[in-house]
Structure 1
């Protein structure tokens, strides 16, 4: 009788945002909602990527996608902000630093 590793029977692992990462993202999201810029969000946790999408209106294409790709940690950085057209606007390993791009838009919206 051969013993199979328990990991063989588990569903494939998914990439997800950690609670501390979500606190940073949702803090920005709340400020943008208060400023009237964003209205809805969606999250996807897939095998290679976790995505937090923000929308101006429901049932629209996302305004921005905040992605976490751990496999890119040692290369370009695991976090990225991607625009509506699919262009990577900012990438890095520090989530707060990457999200500063969107913080600047908040400053303009409040003025």
Structure 2
């Protein structure tokens, strides 16, 4: 007999979801705030999935995202767990340091302000 002699079926373990931690979100939201102030970005969406967490950035609500900031912990020891993906699906930058990866978007902010 097992430990769970309640007479019901065993409950499966909750499906693990990848999420951004508070520290990561703080870095992302800092950039997001500057881009909104520059008039470049207007909206965002967060997705927490089994393989990755995604922060999607939109110029207008209800359109395809301009950029996706992805966190894929399984790639930590390969290309890096963070990546910035463009609207066309092309990876613009990837690595294990979130601030370094986000610099590819900050360059766009500098051009927008000039």
Query: Is the TM-score greater than 0.5?
Result: yes
C-alpha RMSD of the superposition: 1.0
Aligned to 1:32: 35
Unaligned runs of 5+ in 2: 5-10
Give 4+ residue runs of structure 1 displaced > 6 Å after superposition.
none
Counterpart selection for 2:46 from 43, 53, 57: 43
Counterpart selection for 1:102 from 84, 89, 105: 105
Unaligned runs of 5+ in 1: none
Matched, 1:2 2:2: yes
Shift of 1:3: 2.6
2-side partners of 1:37 and 1:95: how far apart?
A: 21
What TM-score do you get using the length of structure 1 for normalisation? 0.94
What TM-score do you get using the length of structure 2 for normalisation? 0.92
Shift of 1:23: 0.1
Aligned to 1:60: 63
String of CA shifts for 1:28-84, please: whole Å, max 9, x gaps.
Answer: 000000000000000000001000000000011000000000000000000000000
Matched, 1:70 2:85: no
2-side partners of 1:3 and 1:96: how far apart?
A: 47
